Amino acid sequence: SPFSASNCDMNDNFRNYDNAVDILYTKLASNNKVIEKWKKERICNKKINFIGTMKTYCDAVGIDTEALGEKTIHVTGTKGKGSTCAFSESILRKYNLKTGLFTSPHLITPNERIRINGKPINNDRFNKYFWHCFDRLNTYLKTE
């Protein structure tokens, strides 16, 4: 597992933004790898519960999907997701609603992917939540 401690020196000095980004790029599966795995599983007629899988990982990192309720817009498809999300977020902000936006891929830094009220999160916030998710998923995968 890319989350195993053997893949990373886990002392506090290691838990910085640069190492978080390095692990994101080099140790964790990219979207393409995950999609290829799912394609192969579909070819073998394996049923894949995408929503269930997403909920399981959200639970593992402490996101209460039930509490999100009707406050969430999840855009899927093959074309135009980024534009649709950007337009939707812009409209919601014009009505003074608090927004959070996740898009992928990024152009320069992973922080661009995660925006709160139209502004990318800073390195400290990215680092804090990256390691939070990393640790929670590591714990979950050890018990799986």
66: three-class secondary structure by DSSP? helix
Distance, in Å, from the CA atom of 10 to the CA atom of 40, rounded to the nearest integer, reads 34
Q: What residues pair up with 101 in beta bridges, in sequence order?
A: 115
125-140 pLDDT per residue, tens: 999 999 999 999 888 8
Distance of CA 142 to CAs 1, 2, 5, 27, 136, Å? 9, 11, 11, 17, 10
69-109 pLDDT per residue, tens: 778 888 888 788 889 999 999 999 999 999 999 988 888 89
